[in-house]
Structure 1
């Protein structure tokens, strides 16, 4: 088949590109290092026969007709590749390198003057033939050849995907027949036709199996990433990629599976947490929203009590739902019930019967009846999102969270829109069954607009977006958000209802749009709510019987003073009911009401003032636990944190085993009571109902009652006030660390649908441990040790089963970390998360230059493909083959085991964890390890990969400095600090060592010297000055370890223990 011939030609072209790249690396090495660069040329000479074979096949291809390549692009590529190959072969044939009798390159020719002269002459001849400009030209030509070849492959794959499944299978059969023997063929065909890896993966397997160029480690993943890049580039250039992606021929089962995989990537944890947490409206509240405003205006006889006799109306919401008008704005002051109204209108009714006028993914809500009149015969889809600033989850306050939530709901309703919304991603999924590209905010925005354009022509879409004012940003950002809402409206005939406070930015942008001002319309609702609250209380019933006039007047006074703020009413009712239970008389109740301020923040002050003295400290502890939590904390986590207040040994004494639903229910109910009695409603457990299932109870969280409460708690004066309510011993981080351990021991996270949630619990425990106060180091170390023991336990069936569920085994942590350099031990994990105090205790016991035994660690960056894919086994085996448990100086080989199996233990320097396990390493952690004997000159690897930790660090720091890799904003400064630390601790700064690092940058990272921004001499002078300044050893300032900025382990602002200790020490000094 023509396609098979084209793919065969691609094999030859990419083989030449591979040879050419190795030649360029060797050429740069010769220019930088003289004779030391000749071994690369020698190794290419040994395999030159393979390249000669490729050139012969390229010549044959010039006489063949391949497919419909009317433009002759493949023929042109073949000719250019042949020219490059002939040029390289001529050079390889001309260069004569002296060899020993057994034919191997002499390792130490520089020791013999006559051989040294020969080598120098060889280098001079090479430089005459290959000037730096020539090498750069060849480098550019090779890059162009590969780019054009991958573009051609992308188009070929796209063309193949459009063909019928039968034709695809015929092509795959031909590919398989060209690869396999008869015995292997049938099994291979079964694998191919099941399409487990996608058509593109099969094609790439054919291509990579034929590439014979040297240095082809990870060639499969490298080509796949290049092909994915070409898919995106060629799609944009073609202009017809939307049509092509939608026409891909795959089975319906595959289409459904890939659609679910695509949507699952858009989802994020807690996507619907806010919507579920919003209070459900009182049974009589908000019914007026669907009424005719004019009719209700005439019927109202009490509205004037809050509006100075002016009857207020609103734009008819029910009529808007039925009309083609695209936008409606619900506005109102903080706490007026906007979110509750949005939920009331759009929430699915659980008891509603199935409605076949809706899309299959939808159920009836209160607004359905009205929207169906707008939708007519088209299916109706209701989409919702709630911004929420009362959480630490940034997704719920960001555009990315907005786009993800809306897009996932639209695509779940209409999966066939995916190829139109994200054609390149869909193409990648169809070809490889994976999508390696990160979803950026701009990607999601474009995808949502495209999806709405497609779906709105086939269905009726109505969006409800609550809390625009809770979006995180300044006035300019808020204006852009509203502008985007208008862009979304322009994407198709859709409806959007938004809710926000009446800020100027929204009033200016939404002026003239249908709207309502909520606090002017809820007098009856609030009156009904207050009446219901009081009538449910036996003390009020008694008061009403004795003083009916006062009871009625009390309700009216509350409603009047509330001024439309439901939140204020809720808190005030709770206060008055407490007074009635305490035996307050009429005058007491009137005084209590008069003392309650009308604004929310002053009311919060009053609530703190009136806390029960017995509970004051406990309430402050709960507020600090909320501040210290990285994410919205589970009610069960709070319960365990509360236990450690009474008994610090409780997590150690807790028996391992799944916590039963009844036990969880008891804990959560008790926690709810304690939060209500201590915090008086400012924080509490949301959506508490009658569901007693373990899954539901585990999902319950502790949240701020309202966004205004979080804003109040984040104020500096409130922070200082809470500090004054604590004693010396409270440390929220050690409490949370203890609670996380208890969560692990009770296995409450093992049955969740997403194992990443379990990873998150582990990470949170370690991050909390990193912030524990010095005085609690002993307890923290025990807690972390116990967590590590659990992670390594293999005799407990529950632990072992669930560690396997994480895709690993009992003493391995690979899936728990990102694909960076990482030792496969619990101590490595602690280093990654900067648990400084724990690491210090452990490495002082480890000794041996901070080297430990580890299973299958992940190799350093240059042994992996630049896109951070895992290292090939051969690469990391070679890297660790010459390591032992001792510390070696540069130049002294280390003798380790003869090869390593997957389960074999290899010596692992913890210094590598500190250096390469994070995007931006922590100089303080590096300093800690160096001070405890870590050797920067420790030898790693063998053969071509032999190096030292110092050389690897220096090479990577040069790469970061060049700007060729994506790193954190403060990464360059961190690497500069680390280089200085390593120099002060004896790093080898000889010319040969620095030159080795620069050659690695050229060879492994493909960055030519002209783009590195450094020279051997310049670096050496800098390092000598640093070494001289420290007297050749670690200086006092180094031993004290600099505190890096922006690391969690140094964030003491929110640890009340640190703050109190500093204040008390300062008072003692003054005294």
Structure 2
């Protein structure tokens, strides 16, 4: 299909060709003075030939591979071909006239043309031009008007989704195009003819081309963007109130002998790299999110940037991601490129020239260039091209890259890439990681350009513990009633070793004790008896799980480990049901009353069987359009591990053996996920906005597809059950699409070829 902006530009160009050619063969188009020499004649004929050729090229369709064209688009293509044939004939005449350059004295092109053609041929040519004008009348242009407005509306919508810096430009473009259409409408009424002025069409053509430019920019941004790009950053808990102020302070941090302003000094200096390190669970990612969001970060970096524009970009590696990109080099570069180019779309043609020309010339339909076609080497070249433009464009960037230890490869693979990213004097990079030897060697040599969380976060831990306990009514009452109140806060802080996650778990244990009316002495004993490392703490939690919940606990953890993507909270409610529950379930939307009740139930059940090692969070990184749906709570309350260290603990062989032993015989996490998602799809709203290709129901179907692929035929019983579920899913999708008034085939369930084999953790 030809998009409306391309059609508008083509229609305008055809009219301009007809207008120019009609004037050329009329008596009104002067050629040159009769006294001019042969050389001048030759040059003027050359100029006419070039102009005619250019106009004919612009009037031709942008690609010969346009398929599924409408009758209106077919008309444009036919008219473009007619223009090209007229052009070819006149170019032949011009070539002949240039060869016969000795004939001088022509005062107009028509005189010259009559020396080559008879009047009958000239009249026939004019008739053909008139026919083109008659076909391409104002009616066709007016029909395009509505389509163009809808296209501009979609451009604005996509701009919002991609967060590109074109909102004002698209608004101005839409206003200009509307003004030109209105101007043309007034001319139609004035002269009562189905024609319009060339100047108005010329302006419309230029505006349409600008719209195509914005569309091409969006296509390339979409090419770089990938699902889950923002998930890790969005799911990191915000910093506790009034914690981390030391990162921007200049006074000496108590007990460390270090200046808290060294991070600020780095931001305003010419040094290109700063390293934030610390133990697992010490709060590195939380600090990175805090710094990234803080206004003081941008204010200080602007001092470094001086008169240049200052832009910050981020990437948070995520080893627990079910997809590969959030923990890969390719994901890092694509995310950085996307953020750079969406803020400076004028750099897109420089960064990816081949893709740019493919889109702008419409030689390649968007569906034919997938985002996995861009290789890492091509992405790096694109980054180098942008870097080379920064000085002349007066732009400076600062990258915040969190969790280098969560990169899926080896540290010695990611370290050179970080170095390459910061090689430009116009780029700074702040990275964070655990204090592994490789990172210590690469980034730990400068004392003033690194920090270790455990050396700084003691005041933050103290504030968190004190604020949390003092909000508890029972703790307040104990403080008032006890004759002597030991400082529980100090006890926790002293034992924490700077590990914030350990503190969080200890505080949860203390709150449990307070709910059981523990005395201060018993609370102190809790602190002394609690394990002092995260791994020991996790093991202790499993040792205290009620035997009644062991099977349910195993199923929930194994499903969460196995899931191709984080699953909705409601899916976990269906996981608890009988094996054939999803097959027997009717295809009928769930009421919001039942939905909210089940979500409330499931939160409590997860807490009972998983003891806080899984958490429920609202997925703020989900597509904005889906987030606005009335039933978004069905899909956007997601379940994931409390912290990466929980997942690391559970994938150890000892814990895998334990969970497998607790699970029921023949348990398949893949099959259980498929059953739960089928049930959730059956009870989803039957409305079109939930069923579009990027909609929540289609995403659940896609996840199911991957997990069907994970069930081995050798597991005969589960394989047979999976085939029944596949048939049920196909039928369900057909029924809810029909109920939503959607025609066409259900998205294919060719999971054996479209979904990669998932390996068990």
TM over 0.5: same fold?
yes
In 1, the alpha carbon distance for the partners of 2:209 and 2:588 equals 46
Equivalent residue, structure 1, for 2:167: none
Higher RCO (C-alpha under 8 Å, 6+ residues apart):
2
The verdict on how the C-alpha distance between 1:475 and 1:185 changes in structure 2, with shifts beyond 3 A counting, is same
Equivalent residue, structure 2, for 1:743: 680
Please say if 1:761 is aligned against 2:761: no
Aligned ranges 1:354-503 → 2 under 5 Å: 365-432=295-362, 434=365, 436-437=368-369, 438-455=373-390, 457-477=393-413, 481-503=414-436
| Paired residues of 1:315 and 1:516 also in contact (CA < 8 A) | no
SS in structure 1 at match of 2:227? coil
Please say if 1:672 is aligned against 2:630: no
Aligned ranges 1:17-56 → 2 under 5 Å: none
SS in structure 1 at match of 2:397? strand
User: What's the CA shift for 1:522?
Assistant: 0.6
The verdict on how the C-alpha distance between 1:417 and 1:614 changes in structure 2, with shifts beyond 3 A counting, is same
In 1, the alpha carbon distance for the partners of 2:727 and 2:567 equals 23
Instruction: Report Cα offsets for 1:46-89 as digits up to 9, x if no partner.
Output: xxxxxxxxxxxxxxxxxxxxx99xxxxxxxxxxxxxxxxxxxxx
Please say if 1:716 is aligned against 2:658: no
| Paired residues of 1:421 and 1:448 also in contact (CA < 8 A) | yes
SS in structure 2 at match of 1:684? strand
The verdict on how the C-alpha distance between 1:688 and 1:613 changes in structure 2, with shifts beyond 3 A counting, is farther
The verdict on how the C-alpha distance between 1:777 and 1:503 changes in structure 2, with shifts beyond 3 A counting, is closer
| Paired residues of 1:620 and 1:726 also in contact (CA < 8 A) | yes
The verdict on how the C-alpha distance between 1:780 and 1:434 changes in structure 2, with shifts beyond 3 A counting, is closer
Equivalent residue, structure 2, for 1:322: 268
The verdict on how the C-alpha distance between 1:718 and 1:789 changes in structure 2, with shifts beyond 3 A counting, is same
SS in structure 2 at match of 1:462? strand
| Paired residues of 1:331 and 1:338 also in contact (CA < 8 A) | yes
Instruction: Report Cα offsets for 1:209-239 as digits up to 9, x if no partner.
Output: xxxxxxxxxxxxxxxxxxxxxxxxxxxxxxx
Please say if 1:789 is aligned against 2:745: no
Equivalent residue, structure 2, for 1:608: 542
In 2, the alpha carbon distance for the partners of 1:738 and 1:368 equals 48
Equivalent residue, structure 1, for 2:613: 682
Instruction: Report Cα offsets for 1:960-1014 as digits up to 9, x if no partner.
Output: xxxxxxxxxxxxxxxxxxxxxxxxxxxxxxxxxxxxxxxxxxxxxxxxxxxxxxx
Equivalent residue, structure 2, for 1:623: 557
Equivalent residue, structure 2, for 1:649: 581
Equivalent residue, structure 1, for 2:120: none
User: What's the CA shift for 1:761?
Assistant: 2.7
In 2, the alpha carbon distance for the partners of 1:449 and 1:639 equals 49
In 2, the alpha carbon distance for the partners of 1:367 and 1:164 equals 55
The verdict on how the C-alpha distance between 1:750 and 1:583 changes in structure 2, with shifts beyond 3 A counting, is farther
Instruction: Report Cα offsets for 1:175-200 as digits up to 9, x if no partner.
Output: 44346987678768979x989xxxxx
In 2, the alpha carbon distance for the partners of 1:559 and 1:786 equals 55
| Paired residues of 1:665 and 1:692 also in contact (CA < 8 A) | no
Unpaired runs of 5+ residues, structure 1, are 1-66, 69-158, 196-247, 304-309, 349-364, 818-828, 835-916, 920-1045, 1055-1071
| Paired residues of 2:582 and 2:678 also in contact (CA < 8 A) | no
Equivalent residue, structure 2, for 1:543: 478
User: What's the CA shift for 1:459?
Assistant: 2.4
| Paired residues of 2:278 and 2:453 also in contact (CA < 8 A) | yes
User: What's the CA shift for 1:258?
Assistant: 1.2
Normalised TM-score (structure 2): 0.68
Please say if 1:177 is aligned against 2:92: no
In 2, the alpha carbon distance for the partners of 1:410 and 1:778 equals 49
SS in structure 2 at match of 1:598? coil
Please say if 1:529 is aligned against 2:475: no
User: What's the CA shift for 1:254?
Assistant: 1.4
Please say if 1:255 is aligned against 2:217: no
User: Root-mean-square deviation (CA), in Å?
Assistant: 3.7
Counterpart of 1:267 (choices 200, 208, 225) is: 225
Unpaired runs of 5+ residues, structure 2, are 1-44, 62-78, 87-127, 146-205, 621-626
In 2, the alpha carbon distance for the partners of 1:688 and 1:592 equals 34
Normalised TM-score (structure 1): 0.49
Equivalent residue, structure 2, for 1:278: 236
The verdict on how the C-alpha distance between 1:541 and 1:670 changes in structure 2, with shifts beyond 3 A counting, is same
The verdict on how the C-alpha distance between 1:171 and 1:612 changes in structure 2, with shifts beyond 3 A counting, is closer
In 1, the alpha carbon distance for the partners of 2:726 and 2:301 equals 55
In 1, the alpha carbon distance for the partners of 2:550 and 2:378 equals 48
User: What's the CA shift for 1:389?
Assistant: 1.0
Aligned ranges 1:891-902 → 2 under 5 Å: none
Aligned ranges 1:523-922 → 2 under 5 Å: 523-547=458-482, 549-552=484-487, 554-642=488-576, 644-645=577-578, 648-649=580-581, 652-657=584-589, 659=590, 663-687=594-618, 694-695=631-632, 698-728=635-665, 730-747=667-684, 751=689, 755-756=693-694, 758-770=697-709, 771=711, 774-776=716-718, 779-793=721-735, 796-798=738-740, 800-801=741-742, 804=743, 809=744, 812-813=745-746, 816=747, 829=749, 832-834=750-752
Please say if 1:520 is aligned against 2:455: yes
